[in-house]
Amino acid sequence: MVRKAVKALPKEFKDKLENVDIVIEDGEKGNLLGLYQGIPRKYRASDYGMVLPDKITLFRRSIEEECFRRGLDLYEEIKHVIQHEIAHHFGISDKRLRDLDIY
């Protein structure tokens, strides 16, 4: 489902994803469904390079629990979490996502 969700991203975003790993962890992290770790693209200087990949972590049990609790479709929720964390990769904050009515 994760691969399918990444393939479903608009081309303009997929083409700009560089040096990003997406991993799945089994453990629950409370209400945390995903986590972006890295340097957002908009903050990278021209000398950015030779660094470890940015990392997007999906927390499987947390996502499954959220879907069960709220009656959500698992694939749609995975797609939403990936899109949310990729937004952080591009430097879009949670506040800006709320302002854009993405939540």
Domain ranges for the chain, please list them.
Answer: 2-99
Q: What is the pTM of this model?
A: 0.86
Give ∠ CA 99-100-101 in degrees, rounded to 5.
90
Torsion of CA 7, 78, 60, 102, to 10 degrees: 130
- Is 2-99 a CATH 3.30.2010.20 domain? yes
Q: 98: pLDDT confidence band, cut at 50, 70 and 90?
A: confident
Average pLDDT over residues 22-37: 89
Q: How far apart are CA 87 and CA 89, in angstroms?
A: 5
Contact 15, 31 (CB under 8 A): no
Contact 58, 33 (CB under 8 A): yes
Alpha carbon 6 to its chain's center: 10
Q: What is the pLDDT of residue 22?
A: 96
- Mean pLDDT taken over the chain: 89
Under 8 Å CB-to-CB from 88, ≥6 apart: which residues? Answer: 36, 40
